Chains A and B, each alone.
Chain A
Amino acid sequence: MPSTNRLPAPYGLLLDRDNPIAFSFENKRYQGIAGDSIASALAANDRWLLSRSFKYHRPRSILTMAGQDANTLVQLPADPNVLADREPVVTDMEVRGQNYSGSLDRDRDALIERFSKFLPVGFYYKAFFRPRGIWEMWARLIRQKAGLGVVDQSHEPDYFDKQYLFYDVVVVGAGPAGMEAALRAADSGCEVLLLDENPVLGGSLNYARLDVEGQRARNLRTTMIADVEANSRIDVMVDTVCNGWFADNWLPLIRGRRLYKVRARETILCVGSMEQHAVFRNNDLPGIMMSSAAQRLMHLYAVRPGRAAVVLAGNNDAYGVALDLLDAGVDVKRIVDLREDPHYDDIARSVIARNIAVTDGHAVYAALPDPKTGHLGSVDIRKIVSDGVCGGKGEIIECDLLCMAAGYTPTYQLICQAGGQLDYDDDKSSFTLTKLPVSCQIAGSVTGTWSIDSVIAEAGHAGTVAGNATGAVQQHISLEQPENDADNVNLPWPIFPHPDGKEFVDFDEDLQIADILNAVGDGYEHLQLVKRYSTSGMGPSQGRHSALATARLVARATNKTIASTGVSTARPPFVAERLAHSAGRSFYPARRSNMHYRHLEAGAQMLHAGAWYRPAYYGPKESRVDAIRSEVSNVRNNVGLVDVSTLGGIEVRGADAGEFLNRIYTFNFAKQPVGRARYALLTNEAGTVIDDGVACRIHEHHYYVTATTGGVDRVYQSMLKWNAQWRLDVDIANVSSALCGVNIAGPKARRVLEALCPDVDLSAAAFPYMGVREGSVAGLPARLIRVGFVGELGYEIHVPQHFGEALWDALLTAGSEHKIAPFGIEAQRVLRLEKGHIIIGQDTDAMSHPMEVQMGWAVSHKKPFFVGKRTIAELEKKQQKRRLVGFVINDPNAPIPLESHLVLDGEEMVGRVTSCEYSPTLDKPVGLAYAQPSKTESGSKIVIKSTGGTRVPADIVDLPFYDPDNRRQQL
């Protein structure tokens, strides 16, 4: 069945008439055509009511057909607040209205309008704060009713991503000005991007009427588009929104599911203007729309916007609309010209020649709804006796369409973001834009230029200027600025108060004239304050239509000029932006050692350590505790293998390497023998412990220093920073990724290695604890360090990264007869805790200095300097407030404390637990905690507030818990 309001071809520039589309709105099936927006497809089917207003739940319909208003916000299954006048309709799309109770047509919440007298602007602040505490109740109720669409929380994220683009010149807006600017810029040989938010090029040429015959816009459009498409220097992006302007011409463009991050050397903003509504009673009824919206419906979507129309004229563009309506078979009942003595152009004269009734000096005083449908049924027009004041007796004209042509505001948002200033020109009754930044041009109706010839000239000038600034070829630029020959298109006061109100200034928030005046009456005289108090311009359309009317009302109410009243700020984004666009494709860099898949193959449960994946333990999750205990036991009794590739590794080389380490670390390294490793504790200027590792002297002028997984980048940067000051003869290289490392530990570790290291004497005498050797392991070039982090005979073996898997395989194979097994980070934590070794960042915090954590032995006081030395010396003079101590829990039934559980003295907090694990070796929980200095002697008792508030007594013991004589690691 043909749609009721569908016009024949050639109407419908965007339509593919061979491709019908079925969809539903409010559970009713409709037929659209490919190219239709949701709103146009519904309008074609004579379905006008699309939404309910935010506050009073008034019926709303098409206003702009340009996505500039909140009237067409609808709900899609996965997306709330979709602009129906921009969203293309697709097959089987399920569209619903939003913000109603019951049905869209019969919204029970519309009753609230009857109480509108009791809901003035600012009523939240005035009404709901007494009695004390009552706001909580009101807030719940109000928040339940507030908001428009509904978020589908079960929706799976779609794929969004980003792309950088680079152009010499970016032209935003592909109307006649944009196309001309792009063409002239390209003449200079530069690369140009021309973009438009609409699906086709042409801008207003696609729907506006430039001459009586209606041919000029069509011809100009055809010619200009052909020129643009033939120009290889111009790239075109349609359906693309420029959603902001940032410093140095950084433009975020949104098309589909991609955010384009564009760098332009020059921008030309030909972003056009936005038609403004007149303010009169019931100006929001379905059937009342901008005149340009009616033209868009007809020319872009082949939709007849009504059957009987009244055109409200504030300028001559209204007459072009009237001609279009006549051509489309609409009965134009009247042109109500707001101007007392209009200056007609050829189009206006031709309309009058077609015997269309014109009433000058009149306004629409009120619109009246059809009592059955709620759609526009008639208008009450009255003579304007002075600004905003109408005569007492009106004439009722029946109509179902009212086209408002009351004037325009520039689309100022991007320009203001670029640094342009929005002012008001009293002579033209319009906003103006000044103080444009360098490398940003504007052209077209955004500048207040209206005649097509002037627009083309102005845009050509802007394009040439931008092209010359960036291109290889310099084009001639006329010194004369193009003349703006347009008549005034704005009326100074298209605002007509009505005793019964409902003359809407801001459709988004249902703000009437009285609301703005009341805000001023409440003492808010600056526009920014009025905006926040009244919420004018704070809805989805962000003041696109309310800013000018609000400014006019505030200015008049305060006896100021509009310029001195202030104007609104236009922050990005230009249109509502999905968080998904900002997020784009999620990049979470992941780091894996060369042995990573060997861990997975062995059944490891992996954990994240920063960006690194590390094996936590080997075995199923349900066997976690047993797995960890088994791994600990195997290290203590046989031999274990742990991947330590994530450890930091820094090469310090040069004649001053020893001196450099002496200054960086707390210990003394000057006399460290070649072939020996030494514990390296790092403090900052505040004396705080920030990292640790071992420093291996490979050569007189070469140290290899390890650092913690999470700390190595900071250590490396710190080293570079300090040496930038010290200028020692030393080279510092972060080789963390270049080396893969394992720690093979346990009483049988030597026996495993002996099978693989023919060129290193592994005997205790030749290669003692804290020795360093370079040789080969399984034929792979390796650096071996005898360390005791887990408290057993152990060797860290570092090989080039790409050999990691081969090393792992070789060690497991060689160790099979010694019951070698991999162990994970969890077991390593238990093993080191049994040995009383701290983990920087876990057992230390931002205040921990060496003495507090029992690391005084690692501080050389004899050195003239190291980073933090002076502070540490001062701290040592002061009485300690806490100390890291070891504790055991002897009550087998006590809950094992967790990290950060409090240490109590009575009810006073005196410290906290930093580490606590069940020790398979000691068969009891052991831990480290900060305690008051008086409770640090072995045999002291502390109380820990454990899970559920249970007080757990713990006994202080000397560290380490395991092998206090260090015999095992020195085997």
Chain B
Amino acid sequence: MKVNTTPEAGALAPTHYPRRSQLYRQHVIAGARFEEVAGSVVVAEYIDKTDEAQQAAKLALVDLSTLSRVGFKGAGAPDWLEEQGARLPDSPNRARRQGDGSLIVRLSTDEFLFLCDLTSDSTFTARLWDSWSFQSTKGVYPLPRADSHCWFALTGVHAPTALAKICGIDFHTHRFSKSEVAQTSLARVSAIILRDDLATTPCFLILSDVSSAEYLWDALMDAMLEFQGDAVGMVALRTLTTN
């Protein structure tokens, strides 16, 4: 793929930042307008698309890979995280929202994934990272989830059906509850999928191996095609969140 990544004068471009999504070329080709977030950029919207919020309410895919996130694991992780003020989910495969809008996903008894909020305003994730040190924190080990995994949001009423084309888990909203988490195979790659609705719009956050990001993005877009799904930007997500 030969892409002219030279931005228009004054426009933000992924190449202005060292931290770049694996998918930025696809976004550029699709006419993305970017916005800065967490020392990188995300797609704010696609210039040629109209009413992305409506699209997101039906079926849309958003690349959140440059947003911040981190993981912690180890026998000492639950106690240490609670000492840091984390409100942990009670059981594995559940997620819980924190006061600053971030999410904690409990992947096992002693493994946790921290996702920032969609505006990346939440500071909890970064604060945890800063608090941790090998010397002072016994039995707690950070995991570089921000780089090991790409991060997508699949939104809209058709999302469960689109997922059913590439995953063997029933994600229909009456079966797969809010804040429920599945660690599963999606189009033959491992993925963490959690439901985190945007107000009344179903939303599934998908984290998968970062090196397969393009493959998975294409597989999802292909699965979405019959429902007229499309890629949208962060503006649409925020619109749905506040609706």
A interface residues with partner B (beta carbon < 8 Å): 161-166, 261, 263, 585, 587, 589-594, 597, 600-601, 611-612, 645, 651, 653-654, 699, 701-702, 731, 733, 735, 737-739, 778-780, 800-803, 805-807
Contact = CB atoms under 8 A, between A and B. Distances in A.
A593 B211 contact: yes
A806 B165 contact: no
Nearest to A780: B18
A802 B209 contact: no
A886 to B, nearest CB: 35
B165 A800 contact: no
A406 to B, nearest CB: 44
A35 B66 CA distance: 53
Interface in B128-178: 134, 139, 141, 143-149, 161, 164-170, 172, 175
A731 B166 CA distance: 32
B42 to A, nearest CB: 12
| Most chain B beta-carbon neighbours within 10 Å: one of A738, A803, A806 | A738
B22 interface: yes
B212 interface: yes
B1 A597 contact: yes
Given A589-B215, A731-B74, A803-B18, A162 B172 contact: no
A739 B222 contact: no
Contacts of A739: 144, 147
A611 B213 CA distance: 13
Interface string B14-25: 000111111001
B55 interface: no
B26 to A, nearest CB: 11
Contacts of A778: 18
B228 to A, nearest CB: 16
A594 B20 CA distance: 8
Contacts of A601: 2
Closest CB pairs A-B (n = 10): A806-B18, A738-B148, A591-B211, A166-B170, A738-B144, A800-B147, A801-B147, A738-B147, A587-B188, A164-B164
B3 interface: yes
B214 A590 contact: yes
Nearest to B219: A587
B168 A261 contact: yes
A165 B148 contact: no
A833 B74 CA distance: 41
B126 interface: no
B143 to A, nearest CB: 6
Contacts of A163: 161, 164-165
A801 B19 CA distance: 9
Contacts of B188: 587, 589
A700 to B, nearest CB: 9
Contacts of A733: 73, 141, 143
Given A653-B141, A733-B73, A587 B146 contact: no
Contacts of B213: 592
Contacts of A654: 139, 141
A758 B134 CA distance: 25
A699 B141 CA distance: 13
21 contacts: A163-B165, A164-B165, A164-B167, A164-B168, A166-B170, A587-B188, A589-B215, A589-B216, A591-B215, A594-B20, A597-B25, A612-B211, A653-B141, A702-B134, A735-B144, A737-B147, A801-B211, A802-B66, A803-B18, A803-B19, A806-B18
A261 B170 CA distance: 12
Given A164-B167, A733-B73, A592 B22 contact: yes
B20 A802 contact: yes
A806 B21 CA distance: 11
Given A733-B73, A735-B144, A739-B147, A802 B210 contact: yes
Nearest to A699: B134
Contact of A592 (B168, B169, B170, B211): B211
Nearest to A700: B134
B215 A590 contact: yes
A161 B146 CA distance: 32
Given A589-B189, A597-B3, A702-B134, A800 B146 contact: yes
Contacts of B147: 737-739, 800-802
A414 B214 CA distance: 41
Contacts of A735: 143-144, 148
Given A591-B215, A731-B74, 15 more contacts: A164-B169, A166-B175, A590-B215, A653-B141, A654-B141, A733-B73, A738-B144, A800-B144, A802-B19, A802-B20, A802-B210, A803-B18, A803-B20, A806-B19, A807-B18
A659 B24 CA distance: 43
A587 B165 CA distance: 12
Nearest to B174: A191
B65 interface: yes
B102 interface: no
A165 B167 CA distance: 10
A618 to B, nearest CB: 15
B91 to A, nearest CB: 22
B65 A802 contact: yes
A164 B189 contact: no
Contacts of A780: 18
B37 interface: no
Contacts of A653: 134, 141
